[in-house]
């Protein structure tokens, strides 16, 4: 470990986020898990690392255990994924050969008013995908906002797919594929 890999927070030495991400590659065999962690590091609202730092850390990691995982994961990292489940949905979509979705897409009406921000979107097919965690079900105010939002999306002739935490990814991807085909996508 080089001195560039260590930072101090409240006088406690620790590895940088980028170095820790590389260390994770020695502990997992899952590229998806590494991508979920990397997406969190890059998250645009609260970044813990940047692409340049992760790239440099990969170079510093060399050919040690996990090097192939890091090389496979790095190109798939994005800074707009807001949860591990949203990352997994995105990766499942891509793995199935579907088009790459836009993340955190702002849907606006004809006057420019924001109607919704879709977790994943296909603007060319007028389709929003939203992952809804437990707070969407348990918080009455959130639930009512979601109902209004869903209707607003329909009012501008967009298709809205709501994805729950218990929906198996293969079923989710099959539904997305079917919806894209109905809306004009051709593989």
Q: Give residue 104's region: left, alpha or beta (phi > 0; psi -120 to 50).
A: left
Helix and strand counts by DSSP (H, E) for the chain = 8, 6
Count the Cβ atoms, other than its own, within 10 Å of residue 128. Answer: 26
**What are 150-181's pLDDT values in tens digits?**
889 999 999 999 999 889 999 999 999 999 99
Residue of 40, 48, 63 lying closest to 18 (CA atoms):
48
Under DSSP, the state recorded for 99 is P
Percent of the chain with pLDDT over 70: 92
CA distance 81 to 40: 7
What pLDDT sits at residue 143?
79
Which is more confidently placed, 145 or 76? Answer: 76
Count the Cβ atoms, other than its own, within 10 Å of residue 71. Answer: 13
Specify burial of residue 8 (Cβ count, 10 A radius: 0-12, 13-18, 19+). Answer: exposed
* Phi, psi (deg, nearest 5) at residue 133: -75, -175
Are the C-beta atoms of 152 and 121 separated by less than 8 Å?
no
Are the C-beta atoms of 143 and 87 separated by less than 8 Å?
no
What pLDDT sits at residue 139?
73
Percent of the chain with pLDDT over 90: 78
Mean pLDDT of the chain: 91
What pLDDT sits at residue 18?
94
**What are 47-95's pLDDT values in tens digits?**
999 999 999 999 999 999 999 999 999 999 999 999 999 999 999 999 9
Q: How does residue 14 score in pLDDT terms, banded at 50, 70 and 90? A: confident
Q: How does residue 137 score in pLDDT terms, banded at 50, 70 and 90? A: low
């Amino acid at each position: 470990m080089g001195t560039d890999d260590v930072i101090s927070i409240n006088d406690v030495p620790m590895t940088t986020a980028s170095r820790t991400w590389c260390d994770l590659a020695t502990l997992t065999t899952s590229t998806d898990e590494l991508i979920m962690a990397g997406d969190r590091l890059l998250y645009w609202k609260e970044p813990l690392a940047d692409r340049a730092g992760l790239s440099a850390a990969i170079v510093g990691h060399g050919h040690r255990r996990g090097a192939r995982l890091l090389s496979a994961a790095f190109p798939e990292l994005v800074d707009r994924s807001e949860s591990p489940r949203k990352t997994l949905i995105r990766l499942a979509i891509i793995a199935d050969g579907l088009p790459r979705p836009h993340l955190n897409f702002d849907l606006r009406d004809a006057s420019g008013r924001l109607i919704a921000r879709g977790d994943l979107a296909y603007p060319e097919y007028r389709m929003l995908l939203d992952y809804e965690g437990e707070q969407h079900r348990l918080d009455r105010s959130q639930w009512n906002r979601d109902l209004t939002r869903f209707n607003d999306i329909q009012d501008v002739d967009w298709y809205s797919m709501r994805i729950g935490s218990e929906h198996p990814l293969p079923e989710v991807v099959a539904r997305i594929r079917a919806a894209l085909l109905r809306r004009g996508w051709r593989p």
